[in-house]
Structure 1
Amino acid sequence: MTQHADWGTLDPFYEGLAGKVVMGRPVANAGFLDALLRRDPFPRYHFYLESERLAAMQSQELERRHPTLHARGAFVVDTWAALPHALATNRFHAFHLSDCHNRPGPMVRLRNLHAPDIFPITATTHSLSFQEFKRHVLAHLWQGVTPRDCTVCTSRAAEKVMQGYYGWLREAYGLGNALFREPTLEIVPLGVEPKAYLAPDPAEKRWLREMLAAHESDEKVQGGLAIPKDAVMLLALGRVSPGLKMDLLPVVRAVQRLVVKGRDPSSLCLVVAGSMPAKDPYLDLLQALARNIGLTVRRVPRPDEGLKRTLLAAADIFISPSDNVQETFGLTILEAGASGLPVIASDWDGYRDLVASEGENATGILVRTFGRQEQSPMDDAMGSILPGDVHHLRLAQSTAVDVAALARAIETLASDEPLRQAMGRRAHERVTGQFSWDHVVERHLALWDELWTRTVDEDAARKATPPFELPYGRIFGWHPSAKLNGLIVQTSRSGENVYRGREFPQVYADLDGWLPEQALKPLLVLARKPRPAAELVQRLAAAQSLTPEEAERLALWALKHDLLEIVE
């Protein structure tokens, strides 16, 4: 790739991971940015964030993580207010947003207004099922969108969901293809750092379990982490919630089937780790049902990164019977593969891209799922009323993971250590070869290069106005008594004092980058004698290389603060 332009974003990618459960979108975003900066394909990296406080935090985090790049001046960190000037004065190879919720439509509008080049704007999918997302997706559809703008889908499932969104919104709102274009869709998965995970042999696993048993007194580990001797350790890791990830009761029911058929329940141990409340009726119920059949369950709320990776390395089987529509990828599946674990997962959404379940290259077992014959108008309507987690719970409880098939999968892997090891080795090889962050970043670089080759009607894109953008002048422009252009103005006494350095104007902090303060004194000089405001604005714009809008903005501000006055 030719290093001819910079890279930019509206997002920090580093979302304050310290002290938090390092799973899902935050860890994926941080992993992507670290890999991109390690590859270092661009001259500079621009971050435009909501506030100066967030910008300062981002600068510190970039310096801490990437001191060499920071020392070379590779990072530009500023606020959203600086975007128009930054787009006009810098050339960008691409802008990439960490989530397709995060304003790709408005970013396209700003690019079309200010940037000399129609560079690619890309945004990655994560959870797509919450009600507010339809509003974000609606802002994807407008005439200024070009073939260089792309929604990066992390899986075939995410691509199909986005196709469904675009098609449904066009139908529901009567949007034609010509006036309401959509971003293109391309598939690039998320990734992991395979070297960061252990893929131990059986002897190393035994040692790790002895080390985990030392956590008996750790208040975060409920019930301790001593795994029964010779038990096969099943690990479920992620958001532990039947409303936001998966229901683990079918796992207990599957083990119950095996116990009825003669399996000793002490030969299995289920470790449940991840984001969960300290006290949770659901988990208490899960543990009570497991206790009734003799199955040991260990709970590990909010493990830190080190403990999470140790759990993955110590486990024998990774199990994830997801049934929730918010799941579109499954980063924990990759983490399990990097740790050399075979996977038992539901045949569900993005999991199908991550688990090879057939033939000699199988890395795990996908368990079939069952859903509704027809859509439910009642569930759809209640989605706009109920809290998101309640609505997702109801949807998930209408999806059934085949418990009998789940039991067979557990029995197959629990009874065959060589098979577990073989699948685990293949999973590690698959993740290393296809899903490392270095590989994922190369795919993004290739995508951004390819997007530049697509033909764009620049004139049409720049003239287009998006429907999500409220036209304040059109709707509220009749509020003032008169327009500036009809006035005769001159410098006031206060304006003369400012010009001579006897007074100083009061400019609010949030006007930084919006008000061309450097042109204030030239404005006051030009207005020493009465002039038509239209002429004053025109002459100021020409003399100070301002747009007419910027010059008019400054003149109105000066009039507001009594630096200019009206000549009656």
Structure 2
Amino acid sequence: MGKRVFGSIDSFVESPEADLKLGRLVANFGFLQALLRYADFDEFHLFCPTLDNLKLVQQRLEACVDDALLSKVVLSHHFNVPDALSRTDFSAFHLGDWYWYLSKMARLRARHASHPLPLTAPIHSLNGGDMFDKVAALAAAPLLPGDALFCTSTLGMGVVERHLDHAMAGGTGSRPACRLLPLGVDEEYFTRRDRAASRKQLGLADGGFYLLYVGRLSAATKADLVPMLYLLARLRLEGPGTDWRLLLAGGASASDLDNLRQVVAELRLEGAVAVLGPVSDADKHALLSAAEVFVSPVDNFQETFGISIIEAMAAGLPVVASDFDGYRDLVRDGDTGFRIPTLATRPPQVVGDMLEVLEPNLSSLIYAQGVALDMDAFGRRLIALADNPALRRQMGERGRAVAQAEYSWRAVIQGYDAAWRQLKREADAAGLPPAAAQGRPAMSAIFHDYPTRHLADELMLELTALAHAILRAELPMPATYAEVALLGSGELLSHTVQALLAGPQTAASIRRMVQGQLPVAADHIDYQLGWLLKYGLLRLAG
């Protein structure tokens, strides 16, 4: 049996920040770490969009992965993808999100792959106004048996299936398989921590009954928390026996924080509610340990899973959350927590008519403002948990067990690996189709009439006085931009210049002389000639 090779045109690292807050960034980097630790591959080929990103990935991995695993990782630039597709029998080629690259990778595979390979990608947010265009592009892409979308929740998979049904209503196009596979959380979330010590670390009063929300503090992109603040104010008025406290942590804009703090002040909750904003990973672990109950009244259609729910379960907290989106899969009502019923109303027709051009956060906010939680039920569930410590412990321990069995990264990657093995078998059985046509015109053809002229075989070229001054070391050689340098080499530059030392030459003859010395493609030589012309080291003779 040959070696198993994993490939991706995603590097799974977008931000230099070590403490990632956005759900997609957390999920993707967590996935990468878990993939290296738990998946059964001999090599991991990650193709990075820029050299800066490649360096960032290298730094992030060196900080959290041991040398043995790091030795299996091959980092290279996107420019290397066509050659890798032609040379490598990938067992899986997986992306960080279907949205950007999946349809494009299908076209690259059609043009360059010499071995069948499954293309897979997870879903994240599905509510963008351009979803129809993205799904239509996916339906029109040359997908093959073995290609699949990994859907993180049952409801999210339903959205994807309905989009595909709509896009393929005419009976044309390819349809990827949809597989239900969740996201995961790191093992450190299962570490038991002392509640009193965590409260002391955070400076929290030891006697309060703490509810914790962790997630973006944004009504436009996550959850409107104001109704929950009003609920807390009512609970404090009606239930003097419980010292209700609420901790709100997560990424937020300055205006989001100001708005929440203003409502807290208007409701006279300053001593009961802490609007913390972004917190470090260490403080998040302490918050999860310090709280009695985790709450998440999400109302936004951008949500498809809910990593914060799994983090809370792993920490042993009962969860009270919306009966909405991916939360319906995660929270087992009456077992690991409670789901609060939701009711939705449609916005006016003008919102749907303008969805594709509305500012994304505005459209998300408008749809979310039509989603209401049953606040009476919310209050009853919180009171039931506050009044019953045994129920809290039972639900918390049950949630921890479910998270460990189903949502630890170790368990999740095992599911991914099993899916990739099956999809690779399907891809191998189907084989590659006949070589595809180019499928799209070259940029140089589309913009053919922009420049005055193009490099042609018969053009006579010669070195300039500037080139000779540089060769005599009187001036430095112009620097090449890092990404552009990947398309050439010092050896190519040297042989190209040497071909012209004897005097003027045609582009065709220069190409022949260089290829007599180096195994290099003609288009790379032509691009090198173009660079020398651009910086004034070459000119048209005569």
Q: Please indicate the TM-score interval, normalised by the length of the shorter structure.
A: 0.7 to 0.9
In structure 2, the residue corresponding to 1:41 is in which secondary structure? coil
Following the alignment from structure 1 to structure 2, what is the Cα–Cα distance between the partners of residues 160 and 472? 38
For structure 1, the 5+ residue unaligned runs are 216-224
Are residue 274 (structure 1) and residue 250 (structure 2) matched? yes
Relative to structure 1, the CA distance from residue 549 to residue 356 in structure 2 (aligned partners, 3 Å threshold; closer, same or farther) is same
Which of the residues 202, 205, 210 maps onto 1:226?
A: 205
Distance 2:175 2:517 in 1: 41
Q: CA deviation at 1:413?
A: 1.4
Other-structure match for 1:288: 265
CA 1:2–1:323 in structure 2 vs 1: closer, same or farther (change >3 Å)? farther
SS at match of 1:459: coil
**TM superposition shift of 1:332:** 0.6
Contact 2:140-2:174 at 8 Å conserved across structures: yes
User: Which residue of the partner structure matches residue 221 of structure 1?
Assistant: none
SS of match in other structure, 2:316? coil
The answer to whether the aligner puts 1:355 opposite 2:331 as a matched pair is yes
C-alpha separation in 2, matches of 1:35 and 1:185: 22
For 1:490 and 1:527, how far apart are their aligned partners in 2?
Answer: 14
The letter for the 2-side match of 1:188 is L
1:127 paired to 2:100: no
Counterpart position of 1:425: 397
What letter matches 1:3 in structure 2?
A: K
Could you say which residue in structure 1 is the equivalent of 2:229? 252
The equivalences for 1:71-470 within 5 A come to: 73-132=71-130, 134-170=132-168, 176-178=170-172, 180-199=173-192, 204-212=194-202, 215=203, 225-226=204-205, 229=207, 231-255=208-232, 258=235, 262-264=238-240, 266-277=242-253, 280-288=257-265, 290-291=267-268, 296-358=272-334, 362-372=335-345, 376-455=348-427, 456=430, 458-460=432-434, 462-463=436-437, 465=439
Are the structure 2 counterparts of residues 129 and 339 from structure 1 closer, same or farther at C-alpha, using a change threshold of 3 Å?
A: same
Contact 2:153 2:181 in 1 (8 A): yes
Distance 2:244 2:539 in 1: 82
Over 3 Å counting, the alpha-carbon distance change for 1:528 and 1:160 in structure 2 is farther
Please say if residues 347 and 367 of structure 2, whose CA atoms lie closer than 8 Å, have aligned partners that are also in contact: no
> 1:273 Cα deviation (Å)?
1.6
Deviation string 1:265-294 (CA, Å, 9 cap, x unpaired) is 6432222222234563431243135437x9
| C-alpha distance 138-534 of structure 1, shift in aligned 2 (>3 A) | farther
2-structure distance, mates of 1:476, 1:409? 64
Contact 2:496 2:510 in 1 (8 A): no
Look up the equivalent residue of 2:396 and give its one-letter code: G
Q: Distance in 2 between matches of 1:119 and 1:527?
A: 47
Aligned to 1:7: 7
Q: Any idea what the Cα deviations from partners look like across 1:428-471, whole Å, max 9, x if unmatched?
A: 00000000001111111122211112244623563362xxx664
Q: State the alpha-carbon separation in 1 of the partners of residues 533 and 227 from structure 2.
A: 71
Mapped to 2, the partners of 1:402 and 1:470 lie a distance apart of 55
Q: Secondary structure in 1 aligned to 2:312? A: helix
Alignment check: 8 A CA contact 1:144 1:462 kept: no
Distance 1:233 1:142, change over 3 A: same
SS at match of 2:36: helix
Separation in structure 2 between the aligned mates of residue 80 and residue 15 of structure 1, nearest angstrom: 18
Task: Specify whether residues 300 and 197 from structure 1 end up closer, same or farther in structure 2 by C-alpha distance, changes over 3 A only.
Answer: farther
**2-side partners of 1:95 and 1:105: how far apart?**
13
Deviation at 1:365, TM superposition (A): 0.7
Q: How has the CA–CA distance of structure 1 residues 508 and 357 changed in structure 2, closer, same or farther, with 3 Å as cutoff?
A: same
Rounded Cα–Cα distance in structure 1 between residues aligned with 2:452 and 2:14: 48
> Secondary structure of the residue that 1:110 maps to in structure 2?
helix
| Structure-2 separation of matches of 1:287 and 1:554 | 63
TM-score (structure 2 length as normaliser): 0.84
How many residues get paired?
531
Deviation at 1:117, TM superposition (A): 1.8
Change (3 A) 1:321 1:255: same
Distance across 1 between alignment mates of 2:43 and 2:294: 40
Shift of 1:517: 7.4
> Alpha-carbon deviation of 1:98?
1.6
1:166-215 deviation per Cα after TM superposition (whole angstroms, max 9, x unaligned): 344456xxxx543x324332221111124434445xxx434433443xx3
Cα distance in 1 between the residues matched to 2:397 and 2:415: 25
Partners of 1:207 and 1:527 lie apart in 2 by: 76
Q: 1:531 to 1:291 in 2, by over 3 A?
A: closer
Question: Could you tell me which amino acid in structure 2 is paired with residue 161 of structure 1?
Answer: V
Instruction: Quote the RMSD (CA, aligned, Å).
Output: 3.8
Q: Deviations over 1:493-540 (max 9, x none)?
A: 679x99xx9899978434334358766748986999999988997998
Q: Secondary structure at the match of 1:101?
A: helix
Please name the residue that 1:33 is paired with. 32
Q: Equivalent residue of 1:345, what SS?
A: strand
SS of the residue corresponding to residue 16 of structure 1 reads coil
Between stretches 363-372 and 470-479, larger displacement belongs to 470-479
Report if aligned partners of 2:297, 2:322 keep a CA contact under 8 Å in 1. yes
Query: Aligned partners of 1:259 and 1:558: how far apart in 2?
Result: 75
Separation in 2 of the partners of 1:177 and 1:555?
Answer: 48
**Alpha-carbon distance between aligned partners in 2 of 1:436 and 1:126, rounded to the nearest angstrom:** 19
The aligned amino acid for 2:185 is V
> Could you tell me the percent identity over the aligned residues?
28
Q: Which moved more, 1:250-259 or 1:539-548?
A: 539-548
Q: Aligned equivalents of 1:131 and 1:303: distance in 2?
A: 31
Letter in 2 for 1:368: P
For the Cα contact (< 8 Å) 1:367–1:402, is it kept in 2?
A: yes
CA–CA distance in 2 between the matches of 1:559 and 1:379? Answer: 53
- Compute the displacement of 1:386 (Å): 4.2
